[in-house]
Amino acid sequence: MTRISRVELTPVAFADPPLLNVVGVHEPYALRTIVQLHTDDGLVGLGETYAADDHLERLKAVADVLPGLDVFDLNGLRRRVRDVLTAGGAQVGGMLNLQDPADVVLSPYEVALLDIQGKALGRPVVDLLGGAVRETVPFSAYLFYKWAAHPGGDADEWGEALDPDGIVRQARKMIEEYGFSAIKLKGGVFPPADEVEAVRALAAAFPGHKLRIDPNCAWTVDTSVKVSRELEGVIEYLEDPTPTIEGMAAVARQTDIPLATNMCVIAFDHLKPAVLTDAVQVVLSDHHYWGGLRRSQLLAGICDTFGLGLSMHSNSHLGISLAAMTHLAAATPNLTYACDTHYPWKTEDVIKPGVLAFEDGSVQVPRGPGLGVELDEDALGTLHQQYLDCGIRKRDDTTYMRTVVPGFSPNTARW
Ligand SMILES: O=C([O-])[C@@H](O)[C@@H](O)[C@H](O)[C@@H](O)C(=O)[O-]
Ligand SMILES: [Mg+2]
């Protein structure tokens, strides 16, 4: 029986452009923790998760109780995680996301165990999740308002995007390079009328593309209803226009556009109130905080039962997570929206190149054993040193914004 012998947790920092959002601006580096589970017969499983200090401490606490675990005992993993942690609220994703820390800690270890299982069996993770219902997984172009450079830094390849023309220019570059056929605009940065103008400019420039906008709860209920009526027939869903399940339900009662969320339904106990009030019509899954790949499929089954659409959320991530997201989306029949990904925004990674490529906006499901990606030990060491040197120990878009715009406060429910 193959058992865990050793756990390695490596926090890393990777370069991140000055992407604007409702709570501020991305710092020069985004953080992730790379998980390596070693077995007594020489296999290594990979996982990827957040790297905020409190989360890292929880990961370490669980790492101490994993040696000896049978790599096929996923229920045993969940028991060990819950024995070590208590459920509760925690900020893990940069926005104020109150997720269950146990599910957030469970996820990278579950992904790593599935990677080992696949390597032991000679099968890709998608086969362990029920088999592929699609061989390629579509992703969406994730557009951001952004500065040309971080303060004092060199301009990046994307340049400035602070108006509709800049957003269309960014979209054109990203779609030419990746072939995306769906587009998501990250809003909550400028007054709604400006962001509606940007969405209309995207619709005019890319008439065949599916569009969505996500202001991360920057709007009131009334503004959300007004914008939804203006964008009727233009966008495929409106993501998190306003805070709370109650707020979204109030908007849903007054609009025909599907409402989507990754902010008010982010744990299993949020589903019942959301369904009872018809507050959302699309849930964005995210295995990083729904407890891993299999619990994400549990979420998919619940969404299917209650007629909720299913999409996929992204935070800034690296290739191990892209592989896991691709295997999950390939094996989940009702995950029919193009998935979010921040992947085009990064210039560094910890996996060897050549497996995860975007073609026509989609990623081919890796067919190698397990996740199908290989760790680049040198890159891991370089990005770990970058973590040590950069001094960032949790994501804080707001404080960083205040170094440029003193007195800045988040735009939540501002307009
Ligand atoms: O809410 C979302 O969909 C975002 O993906 C959010 O979780 C990110 O943290 C945010 O958009 C960002 O990357 O700036
Ligand atoms: Mg969102």
ipTM of the complex: 0.93
Q: For position 100, what pLDDT does the model report?
A: 80
Give the pLDDT confidence of 234-289 residue by residue, as tens digits.
999 999 999 999 999 999 999 999 999 999 999 999 999 999 999 999 999 999 99
Ligand 1 pocket member 314 (CB < 6 A): yes
Ligand 1 centre to CA of 412 (Å) is 13
Among the listed residues 186, 226, 288, 342, the single catalytic one is: 186
> pLDDT tens digits for 152-170?
999 999 999 999 999 999 9
Look at residue 97 in the predicted model and tell me its pLDDT.
56
Question: Measuring CA to CA, how many Å separate 119 from each of 37, 221, 355, 369?
Answer: 12, 49, 16, 5
User: Distance from the CA of 288 to the center of ligand 2, in angstroms?
Assistant: 14
Q: Assess contact for 383 and 346: CB atoms under 8 A.
A: no
Does the beta carbon of 312 sit less than 6 angstroms from any atom of ligand 1? no
Average pLDDT of every residue of the chain:
96
User: Which of 313, 327, 342, 346 is labelled catalytic?
Assistant: 313
**Per-residue model confidence (pLDDT) at position 117:** 98
CA-nearest residue for atom 8, ligand 1, is 315
Residue in the block written with tokens 């390596």: 36
Which residues have a Cβ under 8 Å from the Cβ of 121 and sit 6 or more positions away? 128, 369
Q: Which residues of the chain have pLDDT under 50?
A: 87-94, 96
Give dist(CA 295, CA 285) in Å, integer: 10
E-state strands within 43-132: 44-49
| Atom in ligand 1 nearest the alpha carbon of residue 239 | 3
Between CA 294 and CA 309 the distance in angstroms is 18
- Residue 340 has a pLDDT of 98
